[in-house]
Amino acid sequence: MTGVKRTPDQIEPQTRSLIEQVLSGHKPWPITLLGSVGTGKTSAALCVLDTLWPGVYLTVAEAMEELIQAQDGKLLKFDQPCSPIRWWRRWCELPLTVLDEVGARDRISDFHYEVVNRCIDTRRDRPAVVVSNLNLGEIDRIYDDRISSRLAAGTVITMTGKDRRIA
């Protein structure tokens, strides 16, 4: 994702400390960044991605779009056709994944649910960052308790403050 300014010094010290504890193995994966719009969640996630590169950043919508293209035989990764099986294998093997905009819509399709569930489940105990404007209770309401439980098992960080985009 380009255009998002990010440097670790822009992350609130308490949040940066929690992220560093996960990176050093003292707190569990995944990192789940929750909070209102503009509080720096995506910037913080991208800082983690910069630290553990290579990895991938995708919104839920982008992951769904790539999987649909893969199913239709239209997705190329590294100049090669990418099937859904290959897409999932790559997702599992990357050093880090960042899944953004979890719960960005109030209603979700079965496909949406399955993509989010599998993206999170296949990264259990592995480096992953999940980003949402919702809290765990709202994620539970939109998805279900399996997804919110998997996220709660990691390190949940609630980011607060004013919208940095318009401040």
Strands lying side by side in the sheet with 56-59: 56-59, 97-100, 128-132, 31-35, 155-159
pLDDT, tens digit (0-9, with 9 covering 90-100), for 93-133: 999 999 999 999 888 999 999 999 999 999 998 999 999 99
What domains, with CATH codes, occur in the chain?
27-159 (3.40.50.300)
How far apart (Å, rounded) are the C-alpha atoms in residues 50 and 86?
A: 24
pLDDT, tens digit (0-9, with 9 covering 90-100), for 55-94: 999 999 999 999 999 999 899 877 788 999 999 999 999 9
pLDDT above 90 (res 49): yes
Contact call for residues 157 and 41 (beta carbons, < 8 A): no
Please spell the DSSP secondary structure of 121-141, one letter per residue. HTTTTSSEEEEESS-HHHHHH
pLDDT of residue 70: 95
pLDDT of residue 5: 63
pLDDT, tens digit (0-9, with 9 covering 90-100), for 20-46: 999 999 999 999 999 999 899 999 999
pLDDT above 70 (res 2): no
pLDDT of residue 163: 67
Mean pLDDT computed over 133-156: 96
Confidence of residue 53 (pLDDT cuts 50, 70, 90): confident
pLDDT above 90 (res 158): yes
Mean pLDDT score of the chain: 91
